[in-house]
Amino acid sequence: MSDTKGLHTFIPEPKRLEMRSGNLPLENCRCVAFDGGCEPSLCDEVRRIAEFAHSAIAEETGLSMAVESSIPGPSQTAIVLELKPLEIGAGHTDESYVLDISPDGVTLSASAPRGLFYALQTFRQALRQSNGRRAVQCLRIEDWPEVRIRGMQLDLKYQMPTFDYLLKIVDLLSQYKMNYVLIEYENKFPFESHPLLPSPVALSKQEINQLIGYCAERYIEVMPMLHCVNWLEYILTHEEYAHLREGPEAIHQACPTNPGTMELFRELYAEIVAAHDDCTYFHIGADELHDIGVCPECKAKVEREGRARLYFDYVLAVCDHVRQSGKRPVMWADMVLNEPEYADKIPRDIVMMYWDYWTDAPKVQQVILGSSAATHKGPITPQTISSVPREIYERFAEYWDPGDGSFPNELAGFPYLGYYQDKGFEVLCAPSIQCSGDNYSCTRYWFHLENISEFCKKAAKEGGLGVVNTNWVIHRVPWEVTLPGVICSAEFSWSGPQIELGDFERKFAGDYWGLGAPTPIDIMRTIGTCTTELPFTRVCRGSPFDYPPLTEKLEAFEQSENRDEVLASLPGLREKALAAAQEAAALEKEVTRNRLSIQFLRLGAEVNAHKASQALCFHQCGQLLNAPSASGEEKAECAGWLEELLEQLGSLRAETERLLSLVTSAIEVEEEMQRRWVQEEALMKDYLAKLTAEAH
């Protein structure tokens, strides 16, 4: 088939696409039809997909077509769904499909209902490409995915979406052929055995059942997640559970030698798994145990048997419990790298979820050994590789080597996928669209998209079980702003190395926003860069749950070695952010769909511009209040600046609340307001009062 790049906006990129001359006027199609005489166990499922087609056609074109359970004769034009054997897509036969559009009608063919559903999603995109003309381009597509599991993480820790918005996210994932969601409930699950834990905005049992069913209807399976020992702040902050902490202040990590920790996991697990009876996989967390071995009992065991034994005795017992209920355990893989001698002792039915949020190319200048390796600290680079302990070098050097003669001057990206596979594990690859270093306004799109696309290509090339794109909401970026990155993983986990990132960006702008150029993603890159370069904007430090006061962050900035350099850059950052805000405001009028994401972008750019001005103003306030020679006129002028910033803050706060309220539960909107604005407003008012008093 001919090269069609640049001629369409299909996401994911079809394996085979033949663009044909001519169009099919949709008014000529009499109905959506399927064979009602097919196997009874499949008939209802195919009927449901036909009903989906009816709704999609109505939504995209305004046309209403009847659904009929018999195939019309050859003289009648129709949209036909048919199940038949297909000889394409080896290894993924239930997801393969053919879409054929001709002047005589539309045929969606697949060997299984799931494939029909995916054919429908591609047909829906073809309808969008017709730009409301009610005539669709003639073409033929043969398509199948590169990897089996294509998912995203729904982290419900913060910014809890409204239930309707959760369903909207599921719809979006299904439209781009994603088939898994990893749900991290934490306190959003309605635990009955531990009633102190659920949030006031926790999902109800009925909502969870509805969510699971809604996913299943769209061929998305839920993989529930329950951290078994770490990241348990929603539990350990309560004094009633303080006895389970690894240390008196360890609100994030439970003690693995305390019998109560395992008992708690089993009780919470029983409730979650009962709600997800049909799930295949269950994720137990088990990552980044930095503080393991602190309590007296754990410390004694480490001294007797070693740190690795303490960790793996507990985690493998958790996996045994999961296995006994008929589920396949999944765990984060970093601790296996930290304690590599245990890689040979772990049961091979455990799925390793290998997370790497920093690699952005097939060959790189640094790799990292786990998250907190006891055997080697710091990144491994061409300059430091000679200092790596011999046993570590001998174990991993073949995976760090790109295999093209460039080693050790260049290192292989995502090196440990092959390592885990050679050990006999199936591996889920986990890039990220939001992680440590992202803040408030926008993720760092200038490297996240590269990380996502390259990791997906690696998984496709080396036979990974799948890809689950992580989205850690602790860093407070609005869901709407992260969705383009989520769909980036949908593209590359299906299509693999078939296209380049720039092709995806162009297609996404066309299909998602109805634009001819990827301007919104360019704006995202700008905002992400500004957010990174602005001082004291990071939400949290060290522990993701450690929120330093603004005054402390400001003091640290004033004492930093690069303070003057950063201050000199702020006017330029402000102008860059203001320009991005103007671009986004113009796009709000231009986009034909999904305008809310553009509004969040515009807000993010305006917030960044305000924060740049705020940083300059705070610095000047401190200088004036600590300078005996400062004149009343200078202080009055600075006070006027503060009044202007306070007025802008009021407008930004109101717009933040308005936009978040459209997609976020009311209680957590208020928490966002507290995190984003209260300290800044209080400090501005404090400075204003002091400057006004001294000016007079």
Q: Which CATH number fits domain 149-227+254-291+336-362+425-472+488-498: 2.60.40.10, 3.20.20.80, 3.40.50.720, 3.50.50.60?
A: 3.20.20.80
Whole-angstrom CA distances from 386 to 371, 382, 399, 408 are: 20, 8, 16, 9
Indicate the range of 69-83, 142-156, 463-477 predicted with least confidence: 69-83
SS3 content of the chain, % helix, strand, coil (to 5): 50, 15, 35
| SS3 of 286-301 | CCCCCCCCCCHHHHHH
Nearest to 452 by CA among 423, 405, 495: 495
Kindly tell me if the per-residue pLDDT of 211 is higher than 90.
yes
Helix axes 163-175, 479-495, angle to 10 degrees: 30
Supply the mean pLDDT for the chain.
92
Beta carbons of 149 and 181 less than 8 angstroms apart: no
CA 17 to chain centre: 29
CB neighbourhood size of 55 (10 A): 13
> pTM value?
0.95
% of residues, the chain, pLDDT over 70? 95
Kindly tell me if the per-residue pLDDT of 545 is higher than 60.
no
> For the residues 478-482, what does the mean pLDDT come to?
94
Kindly tell me if the per-residue pLDDT of 467 is higher than 90.
yes
At 63-115, the pLDDT tens digits run 999 999 998 888 789 999 999 999 887 666 899 999 999 999 999 999 999 99
What is the rounded distance in angstroms from the CA atom of residue 391 to the CA atom of residue 371?
A: 18
Amino acid 375: pLDDT? 54
Indicate the range of 1-5, 83-87, 148-152, 312-316 predicted with least confidence: 1-5
Residue 693 CB partners (closer than 8 Å, separation 6+)? none
What is the rounded distance in angstroms from the CA atom of residue 680 to the CA atom of residue 615?
A: 10
Kindly tell me if the per-residue pLDDT of 272 is higher than 90.
yes
Question: Is the CATH number 3.30.379.10 carried by domain 16-143?
Answer: yes
Amino acid 541: pLDDT? 43
Buried b (16+ CB within 10 A) or exposed e, 344-360: eebeeebbbbbbbbbbb
Kindly tell me if the per-residue pLDDT of 276 is higher than 50.
yes
What is the rounded distance in angstroms from the CA atom of residue 598 to the CA atom of residue 671?
A: 23
Query: Confidence class of residue 406 from pLDDT cuts 50, 70 and 90?
Result: very high
Amino acid 537: pLDDT? 65
Kindly tell me if the per-residue pLDDT of 5 is higher than 90.
no
Indicate the range of 406-410, 479-483, 534-538 predicted with least confidence: 534-538
Segment (H or E) for 643: helix 632-661
At 233-271, the pLDDT tens digits run 999 999 999 999 999 989 999 999 999 999 999 999 999
CA 129 to chain centre: 27
> For the residues 142-149, what does the mean pLDDT come to?
96
Amino acid 144: pLDDT? 96
Task: State yes or no: cis peptide before 200, omega within 30 of 0.
Answer: no
- Stated length of the chain: 696
Indicate the range of 249-253, 346-350, 599-603 predicted with least confidence: 249-253
Kindly tell me if the per-residue pLDDT of 26 is higher than 50.
yes
Query: Confidence class of residue 342 from pLDDT cuts 50, 70 and 90?
Result: confident
101 phi, psi to nearest 5 deg: -120, 120
Kindly tell me if the per-residue pLDDT of 204 is higher than 90.
yes
At 550-575, the pLDDT tens digits run 888 888 889 999 999 999 999 999 99
For residue 171, give the DSSP letter.
H
Q: Provide the Cα torsion 380, 442, 669, 512; round to 10°.
A: -120
Kindly tell me if the per-residue pLDDT of 169 is higher than 90.
yes
Amino acid 458: pLDDT? 97
At 606-643, the pLDDT tens digits run 999 999 999 999 999 999 999 988 899 999 999 999 99
Kindly tell me if the per-residue pLDDT of 377 is higher than 70.
no
Indicate the range of 193-202, 221-230, 330-339, 588-597 predicted with least confidence: 330-339
What is the rounded distance in angstroms from the CA atom of residue 199 to the CA atom of residue 190?
A: 8
> Any idea where the domains of the chain sit in the sequence?
16-143, 149-227+254-291+336-362+425-472+488-498, 367-412, 524-695
% of residues, the chain, pLDDT over 90? 77
At 413-440, the pLDDT tens digits run 999 999 999 999 999 999 999 998 888 8
Amino acid 439: pLDDT? 81
Rg (CA), the chain: 27
Helix axes 205-217, 259-275, angle to 10 degrees: 60
